[in-house]
């Protein structure tokens, strides 16, 4: 299982002046882009990662279609951030930086999307060969 850091700053617009974060999410939705996603509970216990599409996106919620599963996420009260995130491998022996959009949810959970191909070590379901 990979670990991640929490976003440093939560803003509705890019601190790097890349444009409106919500417009990027809408673009990924409208283009039916396949994205890497990671959903983490604030108190632990649930972490889901994989590839999927934003099937539904509006001002209050989004739905991720991840093939055999669907994830419904409430966006009311969320804060958005596009600062690159640092992910660590499970043994903390290496790390990598990933561009994307982080969403801090009102219930303190965290969702991250990236159009980048993720290293296999970042995916929760990945296990090294025996």
In the sheet where 101-104 sits, what is the strand order? 70-74, 61-65, 47-57, 35-40, 110-114, 101-104, 79-81
| Residue 3 binned pLDDT confidence (cut-offs 50, 70, 90) | very low
| Residue 120 binned pLDDT confidence (cut-offs 50, 70, 90) | low
* Residues 2/123, Cβ–Cβ less than 8 Å: yes
Phi, psi of 23 (to 5 degrees): -65, -35
3-state DSSP assignment of residue 105: coil
pLDDT at 71 over 80: yes
For residue 68, the model assigns a pLDDT of 86
Residue 118 DSSP class: P
Mean pLDDT, rounded, of the chain: 77
């Amino acid at each position: 299982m990979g670990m991640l850091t929490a976003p440093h700053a939560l803003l509705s617009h890019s601190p790097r002046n890349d444009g409106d974060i919500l417009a990027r999410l809408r673009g990924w939705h409208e283009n039916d882009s396949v994205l890497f996603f990671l959903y983490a509970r604030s108190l632990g216990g649930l972490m889901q990662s994989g590839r999927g599409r934003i099937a539904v996106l509006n001002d209050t919620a989004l739905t991720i279609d991840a093939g055999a599963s669907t994830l419904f996420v409430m966006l009311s009260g969320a804060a958005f951030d596009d600062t690159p995130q640092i992910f660590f491998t499970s043994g903390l022996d290496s790390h990598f930086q990933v561009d994307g959009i982080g969403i801090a949810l009102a219930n303190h959970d965290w969702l991250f999307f990236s159009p980048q191909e993720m290293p296999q070590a970042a995916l929760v379901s990945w296990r090294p060969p025996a």
